[in-house]
Amino acid sequence: MSSLNELYIWMKSRENGRLEFKEAKHQFDRTKLTQYCCAFANEGGGRVVLGVTDQFPRKIVGSQAFLNLEAIKSHLIRTLSLKIEVEELLEEHRRVVVFTIPSRPMGVPVQCDGIYWMRRGEELVPMTADMLKRIFDEAIPDFSAQICPGAKFEDLNPNAINAFREEWMRKAGSHHIKHISEKQLLRDIEVISDSGVTYAALVLFGTHKALGQYLAQAEVVFEYRSSDLTGPAQHRIEYREGFFNFYNELWEKINLRNDNQHFQDGLFIFDIPTFNEKAVREVILNAISHRDYKSAGSVWVKQYPRRITIVSPGGFPSGITPQNMLWRQQPRNRRIADVFAKCGLVERAGQGADRIFEESIKQSKALPDFTHTDEYQVSLTLDGQIRDESFLRFLGKLDKKTLASFTVIDFLALDYVHREKPLPAEPPELKIQLKHLINLGVIESIGRGKSTQYMLCKKYYLHAGKSGIYTRKQGLDRDTNKELLLKHIRANNGARLSDLCQVLPSLSADQIRTLVKELKQNNLIHVRGKTKAGLWFFGPEESHLKPNSNLIPT
């Protein structure tokens, strides 16, 4: 069941693929609601909220639509064949209706009146043919688990099998794996069976000849370029063989040109490599386990002096986006992902993106960039340039147990505060974690209610040599802003709120209202009128001070 507190959080978020607000004071078209539910189900699920305005700042206005909740619920379930939840929230007698729509079944798009609906901006439109194809393709069995016709056990490279064996022994801490035969080893991880050799076995352990014969696109192409200029790369190598036969060599090629960046903390100088090994390996593992092997393209690893880009064929699996990839998982090649998890190359089958984000944030580098990703490829760029040495020093001074306890949500929340960026709507846990970080003393809050702002704690500004900025952010700006408002009100013999917003254009209207409220509470100003056209005058109410007096009450 949803709560009013959750509703207030949703209201502060921007509408996205999982949230839609409708005022619907008196009624809402049943057909349109059904189409919205259909579109949400096709795009991963979400909520439709009636009784709340869709423009910022959102307000609860209440809705009289669908007073018989059971009737509309039965209609939606009967029409869409989905279990849609409908609930009613009350805020001071104002009724809000929340429809919670689950995601469609795997491989099955949802239709309404013969149309598969999706959202495009503010509109509802029929799904495109390519999107429908991607959904229908989900019902196809895991490609990597399918038997490759004609492939034999002899097409697998013993060196690659033994490399996997060593990794599995290290992860399991068991030496009995050393004595298992190669065939039994591969049977245990379900990449071969009595029926034959799977495509996963070829991708992970195949010989060069076998891949060329059965799955030529299962190759990784590495290039190094010293600049963005066109022309041949300074170094290029093509790996068309089982992944376990070259994955360490590929990292060694990258590491050859992986220079260290230096930063100083007191008397000590620290080196941070431009390319973080954990992050780069994780991106490559994701490319191998998530790429579309039915596409003829190769995986590309393109290294430059300060960035590295990994491109893999096939867009994100249906329902996965750069915005939700950390909390929604759907591996395209489950058998390959399971093998990686078995030997500890990834912590959990199908996951690992959280490690990429964590390592980037901990080293004060830009977040992973998916700018050039589309429905045909996933392109991820890791920028290796350190952005803020002070942030590194700040993290280094945090309690080690505290830092070790951070989840990817903690790191993301910290990164948004550090970069002074507003938190995105998804996931809602980001805003919840802000309170946790405040309790730990890692960040601080300024102001109250809607005007609350967040900043790193004093320790960061001390290490950055910016103690003055900390003081200004915490209080001096507030007093200065109040003085400016008072000066304007006094000089103009009164001012409207809209005028005061022009005095301090960097502040929101809510922040201006908060400052004005504090000035009124201190009897420095008073208002005449109750609407937006009301005028604020200098001095307390019933004051005998002249409006042009040079004295400011204290």
Give the residue with greater pLDDT, 24 vs 10.
24
Domain shared by 194 and 304, yes or no = yes
Q: What is the pLDDT of residues 115-134, one digit of tens each?
A: 999 988 778 999 988 788 77
What pLDDT does residue 554 have?
35
Q: What is the pLDDT of residues 41-67, one digit of tens each?
A: 998 899 999 999 988 789 999 999 999
CB 41 within 8 A of CB 103: yes
CATH number of the domain bearing residue 508: 1.10.10.10
CATH number of the domain bearing residue 94: 3.30.950.30
Domain shared by 93 and 111, yes or no = yes
CATH number of the domain bearing residue 451: 1.10.10
For residue 47, give Cα distances in angstroms to 60, 125, 429, 431, 498.
Answer: 16, 18, 17, 19, 35
- What is the pTM assigned to this prediction? 0.66
Query: Phi-psi bin for 308: left (phi > 0), alpha (psi -120 to 50), beta?
Result: beta
The whole-chain average pLDDT of the chain stands at: 87
What pLDDT does residue 60 have?
94
Domain shared by 379 and 421, yes or no = no
Least confident stretch, 15-19, 369-373, 455-459: 15-19
Least confident stretch, 24-33, 40-49, 532-541: 532-541
Rg over alpha carbons for the chain, rounded to the nearest Å, is: 29
CA atoms of 490 and 109, how far apart (whole Å): 64
What is the domain extent for residue 257?
Answer: 141-386
Give the residue with greater pLDDT, 100 vs 469.
100
Domain shared by 81 and 22, yes or no = yes
Span 79-98, mean pLDDT? 93
Number of domains in the chain: 4
Domain shared by 148 and 247, yes or no = yes
Domain shared by 485 and 433, yes or no = no
User: Of 352, 386, 420, which closes a domain?
Assistant: 386
Preceding amide of 57 cis, omega within 30: yes
Domain shared by 145 and 186, yes or no = yes
CATH number of the domain bearing residue 362: 3.30.565.60
What pLDDT does residue 453 have?
78
CA atoms of 260 and 278, how far apart (whole Å): 16
Domain shared by 183 and 293, yes or no = yes
Domain shared by 497 and 419, yes or no = no
CB 86 within 8 A of CB 71: no
Enter the DSSP assignment of 473: I
Q: Residue 166's closest CA among 153, 185, 190?
A: 185
CB 498 within 8 A of CB 506: no
Domain shared by 170 and 217, yes or no = yes
Domain shared by 409 and 286, yes or no = no
